[in-house]
């Protein structure tokens, strides 16, 4: 009886201690797994932001804003830029514009700068649309040229009249193609000029004329760009703790 009593006491003590140990052990393991997951996700995002071949505009703009998101681009507004990717404007165009606008005023990427980015994207998209339209017109006319000539040759008409009609049609089509080619070249040159114009830095902003940007009323960022991004790199933009709090 005494042995059984002793065994029961030992068993009860062991069970009580094991229950107390299991709970914190499970909690520690879960926290460790979450910590590893957050660490991997954090560095994966840093890799995406720092890689020169990334194509997600929403990510780069979302983390180009202030870490506290006060007075900066809202995540819902960033979705508008991601829609621009479906147009003919490339990501390189977007990133180059945003990088210049964000760096020249030594502040965060504010909402007013975002509106300027949208305006530039609209102009670039319109210019690119003109090029696409002229190229499609030229290709369509070129495809129609050969069937029309073959049809004329297949008809049973006097040889002199047939040659005259074909020569006239060929001449007319050649002149039209030449004109379309010139227009396409002029449009290409104008787009290049537009891109150079739109990519030029804000000289007034460099000289410190902050009035050139239509800032939001009562907009006072908590941190300047130099404080929030001392090295002007995305890696210094936010810390792992900021990301954990965001998650």
The predicted-structure confidence for 172-229, as pLDDT tens digits, reads as follows 666 666 666 656 555 555 555 554 444 444 444 444 444 434 433 444 444 444 444 4
Q: Chain-centre distance of CA 60, in angstroms?
A: 7
What's the rounded mean pLDDT across residues 127-140? 62
Q: Is the pLDDT of residue 32 over 70?
A: yes
The predicted-structure confidence for 49-103, as pLDDT tens digits, reads as follows 554 333 444 455 555 444 444 444 444 554 555 555 555 555 566 666 666 555 5
For residues 40 and 4, the model is more confident at 40
Q: Residue 215 gets which letter from DSSP? A: P
Residue 35 confidence class, pLDDT cut points 50, 70, 90? confident
Q: Is the pLDDT of residue 146 over 60?
A: no
- Report how far residue 160's alpha carbon sits from residue 154's, in angstroms, rounded to the nearest whole number: 14
Please give the structure tokens belonging to residue 58.
Answer: 């929403």
- Report how far residue 36's alpha carbon sits from residue 42's, in angstroms, rounded to the nearest whole number: 10
pLDDT at 218: 42
Please give the structure tokens belonging to residue 3.
Answer: 């042995």
Domain chopping of the chain, boundaries: 1-51, 52-246
What's the rounded mean pLDDT across residues 136-149? 59
- Report how far residue 137's alpha carbon sits from residue 160's, in angstroms, rounded to the nearest whole number: 32
> 0.85 cut: is pTM over it?
no
pLDDT at 30: 75
């Amino acid at each position: 009886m005494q042995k059984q009593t002793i065994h029961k006491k030992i068993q009860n003590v062991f069970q009580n201690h094991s229950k107390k140990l299991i709970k914190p052990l499970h909690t520690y393991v879960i926290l460790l797994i979450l910590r590893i997951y957050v660490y991997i996700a954090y560095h994966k995002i840093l890799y995406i932001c720092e890689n020169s071949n990334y194509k997600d505009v929403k990510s780069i703009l979302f983390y180009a804003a202030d870490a506290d998101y006060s007075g900066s681009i809202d995540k819902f507004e960033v979705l508008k830029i991601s829609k621009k990717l479906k147009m003919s404007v490339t990501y390189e165009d977007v990133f180059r514009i945003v990088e210049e606008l964000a760096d020249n005023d030594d502040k965060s990427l504010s909402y007013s700068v975002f509106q300027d980015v949208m305006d530039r994207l609209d102009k670039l998209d319109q210019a690119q649309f003109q090029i696409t339209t002229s190229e499609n017109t030229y290709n369509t006319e070129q495809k129609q040229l050969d069937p029309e000539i073959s049809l004329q040759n297949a008809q049973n008409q006097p040889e002199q009249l047939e040659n005259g009609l074909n020569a006239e049609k060929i001449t007319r089509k050649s002149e039209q193609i030449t004109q379309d080619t010139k227009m396409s070249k002029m449009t290409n040159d104008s787009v290049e000029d537009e891109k150079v114009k739109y990519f030029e830095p804000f000289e007034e902003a460099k000289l410190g004329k902050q009035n050139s940007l239509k800032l939001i009323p009562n907009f006072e960022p908590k941190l300047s760009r130099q404080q929030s991004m001392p090295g002007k790199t995305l890696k210094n933009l936010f810390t792992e703790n900021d990301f954990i709090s965001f998650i």
